[in-house]
């Protein structure tokens, strides 16, 4: 019985997500109401709030979990592991977490990115998540790499997140598939780890 209830919850959440994505794409984020999303998923509006605290949460599904994935990798630093290797492992852990979701989070990425350029509330939410999460990563790096000062740790995190975000964004804007976005993110991390000199052969 417990397994049946859990499967039903997964189906309901997926139905709400798919309805929201379709409606956001067809009529716009601001023009879409929670009542319309619920009706499209064939559930009552109160059911929506059993899965999401707000309409924004549909687009930022599992955002906090992503930070925890990276924090867990940092906390599990291998003895003597270089910082570059750790950052590469952080990226691969993020990829695995995305691939393991049944919640369409990665499928939401192009829509989320597009809407963040046009919807101030979503842009503010995305920036807030970044501003809250990155200092946590820098603090965690300082704990496992005592030789790093806070500024150096912050620069490492900024290099990692900036390379990942902008490389992936460029791939999206060029019409790349999810696989292209991942490949671009991976290349961005490699450039951040190896330094800009790797681009000019110097």
Q: What is the pLDDT of residues 150-187, one digit of tens each?
A: 999 999 999 999 998 888 888 888 888 878 888 898 99
Q: Tokens 């695995």 label which residue?
A: 96
**Which region, left, alpha or beta, applies to residue 51 given φ > 0 means left and ψ of -120 to 50 means alpha?**
alpha
**Separation CA 104–CA 173 (nearest Å):** 20
Which of 12-21, 92-101, 150-159, 176-185: highest mean pLDDT? 150-159
Asked if residue 197 has pLDDT above 60, the reply is no
Q: Tell me which H or E stretch contains 180.
A: helix 178-194
Range in 1-5, 73-77, 150-154, 178-182 with the lowest mean pLDDT: 1-5
Instruction: Report the greatest alpha carbon distance in the chain.
Output: 63
CB atoms within 10 A of CB 69: 16
d(CA 185, CA 48): 33
Q: How far, in Å, CA of 202 to CA of 195, rounded?
A: 10
d(CA 95, CA 182): 8
DSSP 77: P
| Confidence at residue 2, expressed as pLDDT on a 0 to 100 scale | 59
d(CA 92, CA 53): 29
């Amino acid at each position: 019985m417990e397994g049946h209830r859990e499967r039903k919850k997964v189906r309901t959440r997926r139905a709400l997500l798919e309805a929201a994505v379709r409606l956001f794409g067809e009529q716009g984020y601001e023009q879409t109401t929670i009542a319309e999303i619920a009706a499209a998923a064939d559930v009552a509006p109160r059911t929506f709030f059993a899965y999401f605290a707000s309409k924004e949460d549909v687009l930022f599904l599992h955002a906090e979990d992503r930070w925890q994935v990276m924090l867990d990798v940092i906390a599990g630093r291998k003895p003597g592991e270089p910082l570059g290797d750790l950052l590469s492992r952080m990226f691969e852990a993020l990829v695995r977490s995305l691939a393991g979701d049944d919640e369409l989070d990665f499928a939401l990425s192009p829509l989320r990115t597009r809407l963040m350029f046009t919807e101030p509330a979503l842009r503010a939410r995305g920036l807030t998540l970044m501003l809250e999460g990155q200092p946590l990563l820098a603090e965690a790096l300082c704990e496992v790499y005592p030789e790093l000062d806070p500024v150096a740790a912050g620069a490492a995190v900024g290099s990692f997140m900036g390379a990942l975000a902008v490389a992936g964004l460029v791939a999206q804007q060029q019409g790349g598939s999810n696989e292209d976005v991942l490949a671009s993110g991976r290349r961005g991390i490699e450039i951040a780890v190896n330094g800009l000199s790797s681009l000019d052969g110097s």
